[in-house]
Amino acid sequence: MFLVSNDMTATLPARASLRVVADPGERVAVRCTDGELWLIRDGDPKDTSLAASESFTLAEASRVDLYAVTAATLRVTRCRAGGATVRGWRAWYRRALNLVHPLESGG
């Protein structure tokens, strides 16, 4: 079994497995591009299968084990929650404007 830590594309031979973990504040999308995958989630009695061109989004602070029913290719994409990034950018922009503003009004 392998552990995914970054965005990646992987090809799994039949009967191989891969664990995907979403950290707090992060969502992870898994897209099967070829073959068939079986998704196993802790505490969920209903497992899910993904065929080529199907995808699954993993909620933050959770994990899923992927099992290749047949040889399969998949793409894992990580996405941080947008709110913190937007607020951070806006806060930086306000600080930059406030630094410029006193010089303009004082001159």
Q: Which domain CATH number covers 50?
A: 2.60.120.10
Among candidates 12, 60, 19, 18, which has minimal Cα distance to 33? 12
Classify residue 97: in a domain, yes or no: no
Give the C-alpha separation, 31 to 73, whole Å: 9
* Total number of domains in the chain: 1
Classify residue 102: in a domain, yes or no: no
Classify residue 90: in a domain, yes or no: no
pTM of the predicted model over 0.75: no
Classify residue 53: in a domain, yes or no: yes
- Domain interval for residue 59: 2-81
User: pLDDT per position in the chain (107 positions), as tens?
Assistant: 555 556 889 999 999 999 988 888 888 899 999 999 999 987 888 888 999 999 999 888 888 999 999 999 999 998 876 544 445 666 666 666 665 444 444 44
Residue type, 23: D
